[in-house]
A and B are shown apart, each in its own frame.
Chain A
Amino acid sequence: MCPDVEPTVKDLEDTLLNYIKTRPPTWAWFLGRKKFGRDETVERFRKDKEFRRLVMSSALIKAVNDFKV
């Protein structure tokens, strides 16, 4: 792969953030006891390192899972 187009962790972070930002205002999901709307998810993703790590690792694991044969 050409080095200048190689995806980085930052690309994944930006892609996920963009995905969340483009959800409709009514979009919601739950983790444990907490309900997250679009704006709250964006805010937590930006400010909470543990939360960002959980979401990014979940996205990565899902990507790996999707390619399992």
Chain B
Amino acid sequence: MESLVIRPILDGDEVSQYSFRWAEDPIRDLKNAHFQVNDIGGREVSKQEVVEAIDSRDPYVVVHYDHGDEDAWIGNKTEPIMTSADAHLLSGRVVYTMNCLSAKTLGVNAWKAGAKAYVGYVQEFAFTLDGELLFREAVGYGLSVYLSGITDWSQIKRRMVDKFNEMMAAATDPWTGMWLRHDRDALRIYNGETPETTCFFRKIALLLLGKRYGWLVGRGQIVGFAVFFFSFGLAVHDFAHSLWALGGLKEILGLHGGWIGFGGMLLAFLACGSQYLRKLRRT
């Protein structure tokens, strides 16, 4: 199977020289697991190179070790090499990153677009020179576990957290321990867990549809569902109120065309909704 490891070094940037070296661990693990490794890096990398490598090699595992942002992987100083607009390129792949913040937005969108897993961080990644090897071992551990044959990402997350804890216990200075804890708590593995949200409508969708499908429904559809049910409730209430004014409860319980119409609308909505959910399940 194919894999793609992206480990750029930005001109004059010290951090990416560390991440370049650290990425030797995933390369070693991938080779040991008999993956073909397409290694791009050691210099600035363009977006075109990354897109071409994904299109031509169709890698099952994509690794990025360098700077990141909430909605970007960095590979050069001019343009991001991956953003949410390119999330479809990560569909069907295991995505393993050691960069800052990208699990916050890009990771969520990659996961929604069908990435098998997205490993990343929701905070800026920190490390100390005194404890460099401890950080390096902890960040690469998840891929190593995955390649050893464990495919349950929630289990891999637990193993990674345990590894960070082990490294914290091994740290000889509190400053290193403090930032290992910071990185451990910023780690996210989508598929092993679901993203957090502050959006009211998303929370309702998660409540009604569950963690997986609640995230797959688009924002416009959530708002559409909410507006439909609010409007439907309002119309039913007004119709019932008019009947109550005409003849009380007896009138309300009578067989009116309005009730049949409302029933038909509800059935049609549920039929469309269930078909939509079935389609989501297939994605």
Contact = CB atoms under 8 A, between A and B. Distances in A.
Contacts of B18: 30
Contacts of B179: 29, 31, 58
B126 A33 contact: no
Interface stretch (B35-43, B170-178, B206-214): B170-178
B116 interface: no
Interface in B5-59: 13-15, 18
A29 B129 contact: yes
A33 B181 contact: no
Interface string A19-38: 10000000111111101000
B93 interface: no
A30 B179 CA distance: 10
Contacts of B242: none
Interface residues on A, range: 10 to 19
A62 interface: yes
A58 B123 CA distance: 12
A28 B129 contact: yes
A30 B15 contact: yes
Contacts of B153: none
A61 interface: yes
What are the 6 A-B residue pairs with the smallest beta carbon separation, nearest first?
Answer: A32-B124, A29-B128, A62-B178, A31-B126, A28-B129, A62-B181
Interface of B: 13-15, 18, 67, 100, 124-130, 168, 174-175, 177-179, 181-182, 185
